Amino acid sequence: MKTTDNPILAPSTNPFGAPMFDKIKDSDYKPACETALAEARAQIKAIDENPEPPNFRNTVEALEYAGRDLNKFACIFYNLNEACTNPTMQQTAEDIAPEMSRYDMSVLLDPVLFGRIKDVYGRRDSLGLNLEQSKLLEETYKAFRRSGAELEAKDKQRLSQIEEELSVLGLKFGKNVLSATNAFEMNVTDKADLAGLPDFALAMAAEEAKSRKEDGWTFTLNMPSLSAFLKYGEVRPLREKIWRAYNTRCTSGEFDNTDNIRKTVDLSAEKARLLGYANYADYVLEDRMAKSCGKVDAFLDDLRGKSMPYGKRDVEQVRTFAAGHGFREEMMPWDFPYWAERLKEEKYSYNEEDLKPYFELSEVQDALFSLANRLYGLNFKRNDDIPVYHPDVRAFEVTDSGGRFMALLYIDFFPRDNKHGGAWMTAFREMDKFGGVEERPFVSLVTNFTKPAAGTPSLLTFGEFTTILHEFGHALHAMLAEGTYGTLTGTNVKRDFVECPSQLMENWAYEAEYLQSFAKHYRTGEVIPKEYVDKVVASRNYLAGYNSIRQVDFGTVDMAWYTLDKAPEISVPDFEHKVFDASRLLPEVPGTSMSSAFTHIFAGGYGAGYYSYKWAEVLEADIFGRFRDNGVFDRATAEDFRRKVLSKGGTVDPDILFRDFMGRDPQPDALLKSQGMC
């Protein structure tokens, strides 16, 4: 098949060159991959065989631009495989993974290519390169060295095999998690079993049952359904049932991820040893802000130590409250969300049911756009002429205050059985310049919010509102990108910095002026009462200690897996429980495991990097202090942040970006102070 015959690779006829989703068929993916791979190999060969002496243009920049069609394919295919997959796509992903990995390693282990790069790198100070060019050269040289370019031939061969296997294992892991999540349902036909559940949860469950042609109400492991039942369901055995189902996903049976975890850990450790590192975490962290396992461990230990007294206090307060309301059982993990929510209601005199009518999804979407306009001068215009990959998806043109086209934004709000859970931002195209022509990004924002049901629009919990603000922060980072090279623009920054701009955006969820600018009751139009806003702000740090320990645990178990020499003999749940002994706030439940479905670290690129959520949270808490001092809507501060941080991408190291914006190094206790724990 010729390149121009394939709708994935052909020049797009859509506005702005948007992907031709309406023309792509499952049968197009594999041929597109094969064509793009052949083209990419030819481009690499041309660099190798260039008779001219190596220089920045004919080697480093040529490599950056090689495989553009392959990258185009990958950005479309792999993102759709997460958001709108099917068995054929999943099988295609497994089929092409080894070949994609072989290509990547053939480039990174190419001795001729590395020789040319090394030659240019050795003369870097005399080449008159600008900032971006210097950074691209530095990152390219480092990537080759860290990928084994200096290894012996037999070690290169083994490293290539390892990468192939790891690429397939990640796909299998994610596929199992999606399948296990979809496999569970809890159908309720006795109305007495629904005691305590608010109207929004009942409507959601009734709609789910109807879609499955079942009677009554059906609850699933998708987060809106799961969270509602755990927070409000009064029937304890059913809370336990759905909690156990969620926390035993992929621990055994048809979708067991045990072997995938063991193989991933063993292969990652072997990869690190081949490259001269003590363990995989050491290998990863060398190229992060943190730099070393010791620094990450110290960071997590310090946070754990400072958070633990507050976490114990939080749990004891919930226990005491529950006991005062007649609860005589041991407080178990499936009890804690329920009683914590009851205490929150009593303490702050509101609950999610009170707030949800004020967070109608379309109004929230407009509020996101309004905030981006107020801070950065961005404008959003829906364009239904741009094809989308599913009827739920909407496409928007994004322009700046001068009318310059900045990005396309695709928004995909609702859960489906062919869509992974959670929320994320990604891109179908990253910002770069090729042949002197600027190509602006195509950004995708994906969530799993409750669909409209029975005449009621989609209403968000306050937690979901902060989630969409978070992901929109990632989207802004991508949409405001400037630069020449796609590998250095937008969110292509060090992993322990990438969460900083997104977490920063969550702060506006607690600003009264912002909330009252859009949060109106979907039926009456009443602006959210100031008393509710005050309660939201007052409750911001509710369970801050407990939640901090939970995040520290995620980072700690991640580090525990990736500092191993080999997979442990004990089971995945037993290994995990040993890790959590130092910070356990609630009783251990044998046989349960978060690791078995922890896609971030086993299928999502966060292996030995989950600590970055807390790391970046420290940075953003400090940064928001400047916004607060100057006024949270101060355009000059926002423009400074855009110019010095968001637009820079990975062209400058993040510690320098931070100092450029703040005028100093981070203050480590900024986060603890903001959460009332210091």
> Which H or E run includes 460?
none
Residue 591 has pLDDT above 60, yes or no: yes
- List pLDDT tens digits, range 603-613: 999 999 999 99
Q: Tokens 């637009």 correspond to what residue?
A: 647
State the amino acid at position 362 in one-letter form. S
CA distance 287 to 653: 11
Architecture field, domain 357-538+613-674: Orthogonal Bundle (1.10)
What value does the mean pLDDT take over residues 503-526? 97
The dihedral over CA atoms of 607, 571, 302, 539, expressed in degrees to the nearest 10, equals 90
**603: buried, middle or exposed (CB in 10 Å: 19+, 13-18, 0-12)?**
buried
Backbone phi, then psi, for 429, in 5-degree steps?
-155, 135
Tokens of 555: 């980072």
Candidates 223, 108, 93, 103; CA nearest to 170 is 93
Nearest to 551 by CA among 580, 574, 572, 575: 580
Q: What percent of the chain has pLDDT over 90?
A: 96
82 a catalytic residue: no
CB 430 within 8 A of CB 407: no
- pLDDT of 677 higher than 70: yes
Supply the pTM of this predicted model: 0.95
Domain map (residue ranges) of the chain: 3-108+110-150, 190-248, 256-347+544-610, 357-538+613-674
pLDDT of residue 1: 40
**Between the CA of residue 374 and those of 91, 379, 400, 633, what are the distances in Å?**
45, 10, 11, 7
pLDDT of 3 over the 60 cut: no
Our CA angle for 63, 65, 70, nearest 5°, is 100
Q: What are phi and psi of 437, to 5 degrees?
A: -105, 125
With 90 as the cut, is the pLDDT of residue 678 above it?
A: no
Question: Tokens at residue 410, please?
Answer: 């695709």
Asked whether residue 139 carries a pLDDT value surpassing 70, the answer given is: yes
In this predicted structure, the answer to whether residue 210 has a pLDDT above a threshold of 60 is: yes
Nearest C-alpha neighbor of 75 from the set 24, 38, 126: 24
CATH superfamily of 256-347+544-610: Neurolysin, domain 3 (1.10.1370.10)
Residues 6+ apart with CB under 8 A from 524: none
Q: Do domains 3-108+110-150 and 357-538+613-674 have the same CATH topology?
A: yes
E strand or H helix at 426, and its extent? strand 424-429
Classify residue 96 by burial, with Cβ atoms within 10 Å: 0-12, 13-18, 19+.
buried
Task: Count CB neighbours of 329 within 10 A.
Answer: 9
Strands 379-382 and 394-399: antiparallel
* Cα separations in angstroms, 617 against 54, 447, 522: 43, 21, 33
| Length reported for the chain | 678
CB-CB contact of 596 with 342 (8 Å):
no
Please, which residues bridge with residue 520 across strands?
527
434-439: average pLDDT: 94
pLDDT of 80 reads 98
Rounded average pLDDT over 587-595: 97
- The pLDDT assigned to 4 comes to 67
Q: CA–CA separation, 137 vs 121, rounded Å?
A: 7
Cβ–Cβ < 8 Å for 232, 200: no
């990152």: which residue's tokens? 139
Rounded to an integer, the average pLDDT of 131-140 is 98
Of 139, 164, 471, 499, the catalytic one is 471
Q: Say yes or no to pLDDT of 557 above 90.
A: yes
CB 616 within 8 A of CB 606: no
DSSP-based three-state secondary structure for 432: strand
Residue-level pLDDT at 2: 45
When mean pLDDT is compared across 98-102, 112-116, 633-637, 667-671, the lowest value belongs to 667-671
b/e per residue 229-257 (b: at least 16 CB within 10 A)? bbbbbebeebbbbbbebbbbbbbbeebbb
Residue 516 pLDDT: 96
Q: How far apart are CA 338 and CA 497, in angstroms?
A: 34
pLDDT tens string 463-500: 999 999 999 999 999 999 999 999 999 999 999 999 99
Q: pLDDT for 333-354, tens place per residue?
A: 999 999 999 999 999 998 888 8
Residue-averaged pLDDT of the chain: 96
**What's the pLDDT score for residue 353?**
83
Calculate mean pLDDT across residues 400-405: 98
The CA distance from 22 to 467, in Å, is 29
Question: Cα(557)–Cα(562) distance, rounded to whole angstroms?
Answer: 9
Span 419-443, average pLDDT? 96
Contact 293, 563 (CB under 8 A): yes
Does the pLDDT at position 384 exceed 90? yes
β-bridge mates for residue 424, sequence order: 446
pLDDT digits (tens, 9 = 90+) for 117-130: 999 999 999 999 99
Q: What is the mean pLDDT of residues 379-392?
A: 98
Provide the 8-state DSSP code for 345: H
Rg, the chain, Cα only: 25
pLDDT given for residue 351 in this prediction: 85
| pLDDT surpasses 60 at 364 | yes
Considering the segment(s) 3-108+110-150 as one domain, its CATH architecture is: Orthogonal Bundle (1.10)
